[in-house]
Amino acid sequence: MYFDVDEQNLEKAGSYRLSQVDLVSYASPTGGTESFRQDISNLIQEINIYEHLESKTLSGDLTLIDATNVISTLPLTGYERIEFKLSTPGLGIEKGYDFTSISGYPMYVYKIGNKAQVNPRAQAYTLHFCSIETIKNEQRRISKAFAGSIDEFVLEVCRGDLKTKKNLILESTKNLTKFVVPRLKPFDSIEMFCENATSKNFKNAGYRFFETSLGFNFKSYENMFTKGNGTPRRALANYLPKVKSVRDSRDNRNILSDLQSMESFKVISQFNTLRNLKTGAYASRMVIHDNFNKTFSENDFDYHLDYIDHHHLESDSRGGKRDDNGVLPYFKFEDNKAFSDFAEGSLHFHSNTAKVHNDYELPEQKEIVQQRISQKTALSSIVVEFEVPGFTGINAGDVVNLTLPSYSPNKNPLAKDEDPYLSGRYLISGLRHNIGVMAKKHVMVVECIKDSLNTPYPEEIQDTFTNKETNKGDTYLQYAIDENLG
């Protein structure tokens, strides 16, 4: 976190601390138990590290200029470890990336790409690496029954099947249930658990499982927004586009301010009405067939009715829930119906069986599927990507503040120049650390998402849409038109 930085140890925004980078072979040079280790620090041009809410594990790549033929003398086979540490000066290594075998968790090379000749005596190539759990996931399948709470299932898969030794941050789930996993890979099993999980403290549906520099996380979006007691989580950064390296009257620079200065930004998405209608973000209908009782039932989802039941990124002045600041404003679209009244637009079918497990409850799909789809889709309605100086104290799943310009004439010099709808609290969905070793610069590309607005869209109770067309279209028969044409 930026407020934890010791500025005395930070020379400038974008500074970084990088240890020796070792490439470790599975083979031993002497036939003993020690692997062959090669220091490739002086060959590296660039390092990238990725983490994302939609990615189960960390990954990255290194670009090298190799004039010593390490690729053949090691030899490089795609079964090596990459070991190094990366952190921001002024922060402890626990708030950075530790990929060493002594104190951390090495990454594993799985691919070599972009191999090309630079000059007659040197070649360039990129080594792609990933967490060891990615490798293990491709080697195993799970075929067994799980009984209990879903967070316990995730713990069992991580510790038992993936055998990970990394930190696990788990949000408790409610209800005792039972799953029979039909020969799925570990991450596929966890994804199935995520889709059926409901929070112990929140009325939500759907979890995310992802890895950051701190370890693995299994938690709901709502828990990322708020603490277990419902109070909003503190924003860990305040990003905005501004000039860097501005000195005060004493010729001092504010490095913390520079760290949070956007070098560039773009709004990837601000809304997508057609996608939201198709996926059921606004409204949907689920047809449920009960195999045991031989009955059919229907469950309708209404965005406006569901919205107030949940905590969102933007809250009221006291940190409580609001019902007026969602991504879908309330207005009459057609025949006094709002967008959330057209449930047939997105249709789901689910077959269920009552009393399948005596002492365990099956997850209530009518309370999970539609709500989960709506929440995830709404969160991807507003997506902003920006570049800032690199900082290892921030992660995917953290809450931050963004201030984006309004691009309107500033008639009042005292007024804030910020977009009232796009500015506010965001969730970091992903980030990429880019270390330019030759340029000695660390930059970070951050992707943020938002499910609610600080300033709500206007609402309208009058129907201003229905029958506003000319309504003068006629019907013509093509063959009659052809006859008249001769």
The pLDDT assigned to 317 comes to 85
**Does any domain span residue 187?**
no
How high is the pLDDT of residue 247?
A: 58
User: Where do we find the tokens 């599975």?
Assistant: 26
Phi, psi of 150 (to 5 degrees): -65, -35
Tell me the backbone φ, ψ of residue 479, rounded to 5 degrees: -65, -35
Please, are residues 260 and 238 in contact by the beta-carbon 8 Å criterion? yes
* 28: CATH: 2.40.10.10
Domain final position from 353, 378, 403: 378
Where a domain ends, among 135, 169, 203? 135
Other Cβ atoms within 10 Å of 147 Cβ, number: 14
C-alpha distance from residue 213 to each of 51, 59, 103, 110, 441 (Å): 8, 11, 13, 20, 20
Residue 258 placed within a domain? no
Q: How far apart are CA 88 and CA 84, in angstroms?
A: 14
Q: Does 67 map to a domain? A: yes
Its domain, for residue 297, covers 273-378
* Closest to 279 (Cα-Cα) out of 426, 379, 421: 379
R_g over Cα of the chain: 27
Count of domains forming the chain: 2
- Which pLDDT belongs to residue 186? 98
Last residue within a domain, chosen from 83, 110, 135: 135
| 149 within domain boundaries | no
Residue 438 within a domain: no
d(CA 408, CA 262): 20
Cα distances (angstroms) measured from residue 147 to each of 182, 200, 366, 379: 14, 17, 21, 31
Mean pLDDT by 10 residues, the chain (486 residues): 74 90 88 85 96 97 90 85 93 83 94 91 94 97 94 97 96 91 96 94 92 97 94 95 65 81 94 94 92 85 94 90 93 92 92 63 78 93 96 96 87 75 96 93 97 93 83 88 87
Evaluate whether residue 196 is within a structural domain. Answer: no
Rounded CA-CA distance 52/398 in Å is 11
Q: Which two tokens stand for residue 402?
A: 């963004």
Specify the amino acid at residue 419: D
- Other beta carbons within 10 angstroms of residue 289's beta carbon come to 14
The pLDDT, as a whole number, for residue 268 is 96
Bridge partners, residue 129, by sequence:
60, 109
Question: In this structure, is residue 431 part of a structural domain?
Answer: no
Q: Which two tokens stand for residue 30?
A: 């002497």
Residue 414: the pLDDT is: 61
The secondary structure element, H or E, covering residue 221 is helix 221-225
What's the pTM value of the predicted model, to 2 decimals? Answer: 0.92
Q: Which residue has the tokens 């979006």?
A: 221
CA–CA separation, 181 vs 452, rounded Å?
A: 36
pLDDT at position 364 is: 75
Residue 441 lies in a domain: no
Residues in the chain, total = 486
